[in-house]
Structure 1
Amino acid sequence: MIFARSETFRSIGQTLADEVLPALYRSQKLPLRISCLGVASYDASDAANSFDRVIPLGEFPSPGEVIQAAALRLSRGDICTGPNSFPYFQPRIMLIQDRDQRLVLAGEIRAGIILWQQPVASDAEARRIVTEASRLRGMAFRASEPGDAIRLRYRAAMLEARLVDPLWRATAAELLRLPRAA
């Protein structure tokens, strides 16, 4: 008797290779760390003396929890608080990284909310983004006005926010498909 291979059933080996092993590997990269990239200064009126700063916000055991924590911290306005905080800090980008500092997800902060960026779909798309971001950073280096340089670096960083590590691309895409609880 010969059985035709059915498309509805997969071998246990295929299930292990496609789903179980990648999930176990990702779990070894936990906890996830959240940080906020922004522009800091000691004087609100002086763009020439402002500088980029990354503020660590904590560690969380799962991607869902880290996304909720990021939104909560932003809504409370407690991004740059503490003894080493800056009087003027403008949050720009929220970053989620794993234990090995691989990018899991990133989002632009606009009007008090985080607009999570869709991860790149392929390595070719990632190469295009790296090329464009490098071009923008070169322009920022040559800019004569500090404000122009900051804007160009920010545009480059927003492009790079899509450069999710290949290990996390499927997870990030799935997180962005999930409906948000109100």
Structure 2
Amino acid sequence: MIPMTFARSETFRSIGHILAADVLPALYRSQKLPLRISCLGVASYDAGDDANSFDRVIQLGECPSPEGAIQAAALRVARGDICTRPDSFPYFQPRIMLIQDRDQRLVLAGEIRAGIILWQQPVATDAEARRIVTEASRLRGMAFRTLAHADARALRYRAAVLEARLVDPFWRETSADLLRLPQAA
């Protein structure tokens, strides 16, 4: 009798590997959905001086996927459809778009400029995250000591843009992959 040996097919994956690589991560991710979209900006009731304005976060909605959240956020910014409800602020300048999961962990964030969102690349390591936290804290400290209201807001805004890279470790790889896609640019 001749023993038969089977060559492992490159396309064959064990059920354990499928569970560990595909099913369990998808189930865990689904527990974090829907994703919430919000916008940080400067609000005021009149177009007057900067002293009467204040920072405000506007909730924009929810999406079932990171891809959908990116598209929905970009569409709202492109249409200028951020603060349009009747009870909204008459003057709102959007600054940063945020996408967070159900646990309010950051999935992705981007700076809003000229009607587009410049999505920030997530940090790659915990060491890089610590450097960003240190720099953002330094900027916020400078803002606290600054007497000029507009200068303090500018420093806080720079800190917030830096912190936009502080994507939760669970979402870092997904967010980095999304930013590599052409439609995210």
Q: Which residue of 2 aligns with 1:122?
A: 125
28, 33, 37: which one pairs with 1:25?
28
Structure-2-length-normalised TM-score: 0.89
91, 106, 111: which one pairs with 1:103?
106
The number of residues matched between the two structures is: 181
Q: Does 1:76 align with 2:79?
A: yes
**Equivalent residues in 2 for 1:15-94, closer than 5 Å:** 15-94=18-97
For 1:113 and 1:179, how far apart are their aligned partners in 2?
Answer: 15
Amino acid at match of 1:52: D
For 1:170 and 1:9, how far apart are their aligned partners in 2?
Answer: 25
The CA deviation string for residues 115-149 of structure 1, in whole angstroms up to 9 with x for no partner, is 11100001111111111111111111111000001
Q: Which stretch has the larger CA shift, 70-79 or 10-19?
A: 10-19
Contact 2:178 2:184 in 1 (8 A): no
Gaps of 5+ in 2: none
Gaps of 5+ in 1: none
Amino acid at match of 1:37: L
Q: Does 1:172 align with 2:175?
A: yes
Q: Does 1:138 align with 2:141?
A: yes
Larger radius of gyration: 2
Amino acid at match of 1:152: L
Per-residue deviation, 1:38: 0.3
Per-residue deviation, 1:12: 4.7
Amino acid at match of 2:119: W
Amino acid at match of 2:157: Y
Match of 2:183, SS state, is coil
Amino acid at match of 1:31: P
Q: CA RMSD in A?
A: 2.3
Per-residue deviation, 1:8: 9.0
For 2:164 and 2:60, how far apart are their aligned partners in 1?
Answer: 18
The CA deviation string for residues 38-67 of structure 1, in whole angstroms up to 9 with x for no partner, is 011122231112111000000111111111
For 1:76 and 1:6, how far apart are their aligned partners in 2?
Answer: 50
Contact 2:70 2:184 in 1 (8 A): no
Q: Give the % identical residues.
A: 83
Per-residue deviation, 1:76: 1.2
Match of 2:107, SS state, is strand
Match of 2:109, SS state, is strand
